[in-house]
Structure 1
Amino acid sequence: MFGIRRRLATLSHLVRPLALAFLGCAILALGIGYVLTHLYRTLVLPEVFYYLTLQFVPQVWRGVFFLAVGVATLSAGIWTLSDKVVIPLDSQPQTNELLLDYRRTERPPRLAVLSGGPGMLVLASLGRTVETMTCITPVQDPVEYYYRASSLFNFEKVVFVVPTPQPMQVTFVLDNGVRVKPSDRVPHDERYADRYVVDVQLDSAVPLSEVLVTRATIDAITNADAIVLGPGSLFESIIPDLLIPAVREALSASKAKKIYICSIMTEPGLTSGFTVADHIRQIVRYGGFAPDYVLVNAQRVDPEVQRIYAAAHQTPVYLAPEEYEETVVQALDRSTGSNVMVEGAVVVEADLATAVIQLTASLEDPGKSRTVRVLRHDPDKVAAAITSIIRRGR
């Protein structure tokens, strides 16, 4: 009984319009009845109407029969309608619009994620709303780190897979010709503060065309409804996997929506001076495809926070107006209204970050520590933005 009441409660917003519709149907039926009675008494009708109108049944029982059929039909209609969720169409307050017949998809979406450790932790909350989320680890990272994180946080429906069982190392070539590796901790080395990567190379014992790729990786990409790149370091967490031919080919062939989560800040020695368009160009260069959507943080950076980042040779990754190709109106996206096309990708600006307190060295006295606010991708905001994109057109 409680289940029935709860289901019918979904129609609470429709009581008045349903009552008005029922009254209109009753008046309409009364009018049709008068017209049919007049026709029946004044015209000579075929014998079949004698049986269609149940003239061989006493009048009182005819009335009872049609009343019963009408009540049953009306009840079935209301019960069917109650199966549709009725919720506000717009999340903004003070709206009178309702969304009727909001249907769930046949199954939750499948996600494939290419990111580093911190980025995968940010996306872990998506596991509650997807059928499965397969995280493809960076080729140079030890997979034991991800297994430990998975067991520690007990992620729901999240699976970690390695792109290849063969050990591989990544080498970066900077704009001054210097070759470095991720283990050199380039972003923390003052010598490379204003440098950026011009080439990424994989060091493998066998030719890249012969590198074995795990079946789990190919299946995750092939069966995914959406492929998420990031959040994380562009050159350390995302690009290395794109250098493996089999992975690159699977990504290019996939019909899934490809979503790139752009970094909030530049990385010293890796992406110094990069804009959103520069990030997209690197994915096109190494991956052979442009993301369908690029999520960019639109939150205003506090001047004090910006000063802290500037001291660390970091600046916000911004969307330069001269890089706009066209404005794209998203009919299903009421919150943003319109987005812009950059390098073949739809760039969606949204509030994706949150400020957290972190202990760092003092700018005035490096020997002392102080607490400062820094920006990090907010798991809930990022998950909401990805979910919104996945729902478009499903």
Structure 2
Amino acid sequence: MIEVSKKDKKVTVIGGGTGLSTLLRGLKRYTEDITAIVTVGDDGGGSGILRKDLGILPPGDIRNCILALADTEPLMEKLLQFRFNEGNLKGQNFGNLFLAAMTGISNNNFMEAIKRMSDVLAVKGMVLPVTLDNMTLSAELENGEIIKGESKIPKKVIEHKSRIKRMNIEPRGARAPIEAIEAIENSDIIVIGPGSLYTSIIPNLLVQDIKEALLRANGRKVYISNIMTQQGETDNYKVSDHVRAIIKHSSPKIIDEIIANIGEINNFYIEKYEMENSEKVELDIENLSGYNVIKENIVSFSKKYARHDSDKLAEIIFNAV
């Protein structure tokens, strides 16, 4: 049984991509006081098209987090995750269109649209964009090349055979919603990750308001390391390399402890990931002195991928309170 005191805990999670929504599904079993702060740098796929055509922030990661926290029927979730396969809407996700339409009837107020969609789906908690500014990502590679646009970065890293040296956002002075700042400052637990290091996690930390709120916050700050490396972003990275990149773009004081996977990946998945030039992220604990490192088997398996086990992660996070 979950203790009542744990249910009272306020949790803020910062990130994006499938990693963030996966974690939220586990956390909502423990508390309804959850805030998800979501990156809005995506410029590819259906989200990128809507961003360009309608001038709205990319809805994809926001949609996934809303659905992860929703108390809704399986059919409704299936509907909102439906992707059109033909015609002018080919590649578009119905949930993205729903959020875009909600923005339209909310006088183009994206925050209001998120709140209304959350109300319709009986969301437990709150989902917030990291900024309402039209944020664009750029990467400076070690060879000096500058790559603009989230969707182009991994491809160009591979093409140039040069690692990412530093990430930047435009506008540099992007501001975070006051609700996001207050959530961080008032949380008992603040979780960073899991997700794509340079395109889902670090961009949030480049919003100055978010970094400053993290430095002021008294809550426990937990980083969840990725299970596998990502081609074009974290090739050959160990856990310490992920942590070092986060610190480089923010501050050593925004992480108190690290949750890292020590579960085995069987040969079927290892071989599959090798075809994508990806490998298991090695835990090099000798390079993580000064941090409380929680070593656990936090991996689960789908038909295609090794993912974080959302229930196990949530259990670890709350049992360490």
Give yes or no for TM over 0.5. yes
Q: Is the 8 A contact 2:24 2:65 kept in 1?
A: no
Q: CA deviation at 1:263?
A: 0.6
Query: Partner residue of 1:58?
Result: none
The aligned counterpart of 1:136 is 37
Asked if structure 2 preserves the Cα contact closer than 8 Å seen for 1:265 and 1:316, the reply is yes
Partner of residue 247, structure 1: 210
Contact kept, 8 Å, 1:264 with 1:317, in 2: the verdict is: yes
Name the counterpart of 1:186.
154
5 Å-filtered alignment, 1:197-276, equals 197-204=164-171, 207-208=172-173, 211-276=174-239
- What is the Cα-based RMSD across aligned positions, in Å? 2.5
Partner of 2:279: 315
Q: Which residue of 2 aligns with 1:177?
A: 144
Alignment of 1:1-394 (within 5 A): 104-105=4-5, 108-125=8-25, 126-141=27-42, 142=57, 144-149=59-64, 152=67, 154-155=70-71, 156-180=123-147, 181-184=149-152, 186=154, 191=159, 195-204=162-171, 207-208=172-173, 211-288=174-251, 289-320=253-284, 322-323=286-287, 342-358=288-304, 374-389=305-320, 391=321
Distance 1:151 1:160 in 2: 6
Q: For 1:78-123, what per-residue CA distance to the aligned partner results, in whole angstroms no more than 9, with x for missing partners?
A: xxxxxxxxx9xxxxxxxxxxxxxx9742861111111113122212
**Identity rate of aligned residues, in percent?**
28
Q: Relative to 1, partners in 2 of residues 1:152 and 1:202: Cα closer, same or farther, differing over 3 Å?
A: closer
Q: Secondary structure at the match of 1:184?
A: helix
Higher strand fraction (1 or 2): 1
The higher-RCO structure (CA 8 Å, 6+ apart) is: 2
Offset at 1:235? Answer: 0.9
Amino acid at match of 1:256: G
Shift of 1:213: 2.2
Q: CA deviation at 1:343?
A: 4.5
Instruction: Give the Å deviation of 1:307.
Output: 2.3
Residue type of the alignment partner of 1:301:
I
The aligned amino acid for 1:319 is: L
Aligned residues: 252
Gaps (5+ residues) in structure 2? 43-56, 72-122
Residue 278 of structure 1 and its aligned partner are, at CA, apart by 1.2
SS at match of 2:249: helix
The answer to whether the 8 Å contact 1:226/1:257 transfers is yes
**After the TM superposition, which segments of 4 or more aligned residues of structure 1 sit over 6 Å from their partners?**
none
Distance change >3 Å, CA 269–CA 379, structure 1 → 2: same
Structure 1 gap ranges (5+): 1-86, 88-101, 324-341, 359-373
Cα deviations by residue, 1:322-376 (Å, 9 ceiling, x for unpaired) = 42xxxxxxxxxxxxxxxxxx15221111011112112xxxxxxxxxxxxxxx311
TM-score by length of 1: 0.59
Alpha-carbon distance between aligned partners in 2 of 1:104 and 1:151, rounded to the nearest angstrom: 25
Checking the alignment, whether the CA contact within 8 Å between 1:262 and 1:294 is kept in structure 2 is: yes
